[in-house]
Chains A and B, each alone.
Chain A
Amino acid sequence: ETGVTQTPRHLVMGMTNKKSLKCEQHLGHNAMYWYKQSAKKPLELMFVYNFKEQTENNSVPSRFSPECPNSSHLFLHLHTLQPEDSALYLCASSQDEGGTYNEQFFGPGTRLTVL
């Protein structure tokens, strides 16, 4: 595997389900991100992790719960979602060094549909 991978690529879930999205980066980067891309809206940053520590949480509802067990893996745990949470969820990674934040590389995304 190369670059940034995400599984599953497609997910359909009911509002009472619990599911998790997985992201893995094979680039040796130290920062990872979750973005949400809804129809007709700009990409929204949800969470940022640097060296496994969460550094940003952009007012995301608690029904989204991130987890970063190491600098290569990032999860997004989902529970009691709403239909308006249906979107493409994109993971990204970057190599940040000494205050220099480099370009982010994105995975293919998980297309989530909440019924």
Chain B
Amino acid sequence: AQKVTQAQTEISVVEKEDVTLDCVYETRDTTYYLFWYKQPPSGELVFLIRRNSFDEQNEISGRYSWNFQKSTSSFNFTITASQVVDSAVYFCALRPGSARQLTFGSGTQLTVLP
């Protein structure tokens, strides 16, 4: 069985602060994929990143960075110098390598205050 836990239900920060969103997962599969999606108030889930279980290299894309640690089954997401437009619900998701089904966490509501 797959499980994704996002323990932070809501986070508020002031603009320009850095913020880290936590994601912990459980799976028995040796091959799997991890994802982060952003859901702004408009409702559409926006794909941010995909990592596979064999690639533990951290990734940076502009103000976004991701820290994948297999030893702790975590895939954390950091936003540097947050902006008001970053306000959204962020979902972490897991998919086994052999199936289409995505298992989503319950999401973290991020509010960036001006």
A and B physically associate? yes
Give me the interface of A with B, judged by CB distance under 8 Å.
31, 33, 40-43, 45, 48, 50, 55-56, 88, 90, 92, 94, 96, 99, 101-109, 111
Q: What residues of chain A lie closer than 8 Å to B37, measured between beta carbons? A: 106
**What's the minimum C-beta distance from A107 to chain B, rounded to whole angstroms?**
6
Q: Mark B41-82, 1 if CB is under 8 A from A, else 0.
A: 011111100100000000000000000000000000000000
**What's the minimum C-beta distance from A81 to chain B, rounded to whole angstroms?**
20
Q: What residues of chain A lie closer than 8 Å to B91, measured between beta carbons? A: 43
B45 touches A90 (CB 8 A): yes
Instruction: Using known A-B contacts A42-B105, A42-B106, A101-B95, determine if residue A48 contacts B45 with beta carbons closer than 8 Å.
Output: no
Give me the interface of B with A, judged by CB distance under 8 Å.
4, 33, 35, 37, 42-47, 50, 91, 95, 98-107
Q: How far is the CA of A48 from the CA of B42 in the complex (A)?
A: 24
Quick one: which of B47, B100, B103, B104 contacts A31, CB cutoff 8 A? B100
Determine which residue in A94, A102, A103, A108 has the highest number of CB atoms from chain B within 10 A of its CB, and name it: A103
Q: What residues of chain A lie closer than 8 Å to B42, measured between beta carbons? A: 108
Quick one: which of B44, B98, B103, B105 contacts A108, CB cutoff 8 A? B44
Complex A-B: 6 CB contacts under 8 Å:
A43-B102, A92-B45, A106-B37, A106-B44, A107-B44, A111-B43
B104 touches A88 (CB 8 A): no
Which residue of chain B has its CB nearest to the CB of A45? B101
Q: What residues of chain B lie closer than 8 Å to A48, measured between beta carbons? A: 100-101
B100 touches A109 (CB 8 A): no
**What's the minimum C-beta distance from B48 to chain A, rounded to whole angstroms?**
10
Quick one: which of A41, A56, A90, A99 contacts B101, CB cutoff 8 A? A56
Q: How far is the CA of A39 from the CA of B45 in the complex (A)?
A: 15
Q: How far is the CA of A43 from the CA of B35 in the complex (A)?
A: 14
Q: How far is the CA of A108 from the CA of B42 in the complex (A)?
A: 7
